[in-house]
Amino acid sequence: MVYNMDKEEFIMKLQHALAGGISGSQTAEHVRYYREYIDSEIHKGRTEEEILEQLGDPRLLARSIVDANRRSGAAYSAAQEYDDEVGANAREGSTRGENTRVRRVALPGWLVMLIIVVITMLVIGVVSSLLYLFAPVIMAVLIVLLIVKVIQGSGRK
């Protein structure tokens, strides 16, 4: 199916279709990706028309991206608020001449649980090692305290 559009029209339609379904930073990331993809394919010798025909309708492509994003569990409203805040901070930093770069990393749930288990095991290991190391000292102190208590108790009779 031929859509008879150029690269800029394709990108504009894709960006417009993505705008309401995913965060601003995600939209910009996808638009940048497809712009670079089209450019790289043109450099390989393909025509713009061939590439756009292969990609298909930008609205269907956008719908697929939004659906995949929803299936992955990304929450649009929270991400949008965060992106708006980070974007505003980054813009303020760039106007003041600062080099501000914010990067979000989302870890899968199983990895978070693994990290928590490993940290817990490390804490238990350190505490056990300390108890093992100081056990003779603790035992000696307890025995001395017991002897003192017994002596004090027998002196009162």
pLDDT over threshold 60, residue 87: no
pTM (2 d.p.): 0.46
How many Å apart are CA 3 and CA 9, to the nearest integer? 10
pLDDT score of 91 more than 70: no
User: Residue 78 has what pLDDT?
Assistant: 44
Confidence at residue 3, expressed as pLDDT on a 0 to 100 scale:
57
d(CA 136, CA 133): 7
Q: Is residue 95 pLDDT above 70, yes or no?
A: no
Residue 110: band (very low, low, confident or very high) from pLDDT cuts 50, 70, 90: confident
**Rounded distance between C-alpha atoms, residue 9 and residue 87, angstroms:** 26
CA distance between the termini of the chain: 107
Average pLDDT for 147-155:
87
Of the candidates 77, 99, 82, the one whose C-alpha atom is nearest the C-alpha of residue 90 is: 99
Q: Do residues 84 and 24 lie in contact, with contact meaning Cβ atoms separated by under 8 Å?
A: yes
Split at pLDDT 50, 70, 90, the class of 83 is: very low
**In the prediction, which pLDDT does 98 show?**
52
Inter-residue contact 73 to 22 (CB < 8 Å) = no
Asked if residue 34 has pLDDT above 60, the reply is yes
Please check the confidence at residue 19 and state whether its pLDDT lies above 70.
Answer: yes
DSSP state of 96: T
pLDDT at 153 over 90: no
Element (H, E) at 77: helix 76-95
Whose tokens are 């749930």? That residue is: 109
Cα separations (Å) of 140 from 39, 65, 130, 134?
A: 77, 68, 16, 10
